[in-house]
């Protein structure tokens, strides 16, 4: 599947009327930094959507839903409409975080039934280094109307994950770094470890040394030990960095892939849920 587009692909289509470019840069722990970076300089014509203000719901008081709960569908469609995204738009999303934030918007648009959405390979710094058009000017937003056709089968909730623990027809994939997966460190959440039975596939391993996405064959190599007939449930800390693994799995030809959007931060908000540490 073609979910990733090159810098030159976008350059050739930069001013086509149905293209909407979305800047998703965001720095964890510095919630205003992404917008400030956008306002200082961005790809010509790009609009900005914020991970926490636009692409997540407010935090639940009990911690349920995780650190980045899925946004309300209506609120999300309002945000998309506000920046000019319609059902007919070809949307190209980028960040400067290896595709993690951009992949969140990619997944959300797919979840809403939008097919024409792509992640820009390499990101903003590579675009700038290539000498391609950047600006500090913000385009005049012409609102559109976005109508969602929610693809419920792309999502899995905590109760179903718990019910499927130990089911041989399902593979859980933890997308965090190995030390967090093993429970050796936990910089963000209150409890360390992973969901019992999960295997570890760090999302950044989907990128090459240059920061570009690996091709379909290389992605397939990352997941060569997985049964293509099994259902795959992907999670991370808060449902953001799992989404690059969803893309990588699709690029590798896996079709039965769902996201546990609440992820680890949602799982541990239920004190009765089991926790594993070490390697599986």
Of 21, 236, 242, 247, catalytic: 236
Parallel, antiparallel or unpaired: strands 42-43 and 134-135: antiparallel
Strands, E, within the chain: which ranges? 4-5, 19-23, 42-43, 47-48, 90-94, 117-120, 134-135, 155-156, 170-174, 199-200, 231-235, 257-260
Q: What is the DSSP letter of 248?
A: H
Q: Write the secondary structure of 145-172 as one string of H (helix), E (strand) and C (coil).
A: CCCCCCCHHHEECHHHHHHHCCCCCEEE
47 forms beta bridges with: 22
Of all residues in the chain, what percent are helix, strand and coil, respectively (each to 5)?
A: 30, 15, 55
Question: Half-sphere exposure of residue 133, counting CA atoms within 13 Å on the CB side?
Answer: 11
Q: Are 199 and 278 in contact (CB under 8 A)?
A: no
The rounded distance, in Å, linking the Cα atoms of 44 and 33 is 19
Q: Are 266 and 65 in contact (CB under 8 A)?
A: yes
236 tagged catalytic = yes
Q: Are 146 and 49 in contact (CB under 8 A)?
A: no
CA 93 to chain centre: 11
Nearest in space to 38 (alpha carbons), one of 83, 7, 3: 83
Write out the catalytic residue numbers.
Answer: 236
């Amino acid at each position: 599947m073609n979910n990733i587009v090159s810098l030159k692909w976008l350059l050739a289509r930069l001013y086509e009327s149905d293209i909407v470019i979305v800047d998703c840069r965001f720095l964890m722990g510095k919630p205003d930094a992404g917008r400030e970076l956008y306002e200082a300089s961005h790809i010509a014509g790009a609009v900005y959507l914020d991970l926490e203000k636009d692409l997540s719901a407010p935090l639940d008081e009990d911690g349920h839903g995780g650190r980045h709960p899925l946004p309300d569908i209506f609120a999300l469609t309002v945000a998309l409409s506000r920046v000019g995204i319609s059902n007919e738009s070809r949307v190209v999303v980028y960040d400067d975080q290896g595709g993690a934030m951009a992949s969140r918007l990619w997944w959300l648009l797919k979840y809403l039934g939008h097919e024409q959405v792509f992640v820009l390979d390499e990101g903003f710094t590579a675009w700038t280094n290539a000498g391609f058009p950047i600006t500090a000017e913000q385009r005049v937003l012409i609102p559109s109307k976005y109508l969602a056709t929610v693809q419920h089968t792309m999502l899995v909730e905590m109760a179903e994950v718990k019910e499927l623990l130990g089911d041989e027809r399902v593979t859980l994939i933890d997308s965090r770094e190995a030390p967090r997966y093993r429970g050796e460190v936990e910089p963000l959440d209150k409890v360390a470890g992973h969901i019992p039975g999960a295997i570890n596939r760090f999302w950044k391993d989907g990128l090459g040394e240059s920061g570009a996405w690996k091709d379909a064959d290389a992605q397939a190599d990352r997941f060569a030990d997985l049964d293509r007939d099994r259902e795959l449930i992907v999670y991370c800390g808060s449902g953001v960095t799992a989404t690059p693994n969803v893309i990588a799995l699709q690029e590798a030809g896996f079709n039965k892939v769902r996201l546990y959007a609440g992820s680890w931060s949602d799982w541990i908000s239920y004190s009765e849920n089991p926790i594993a540490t070490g390697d599986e």
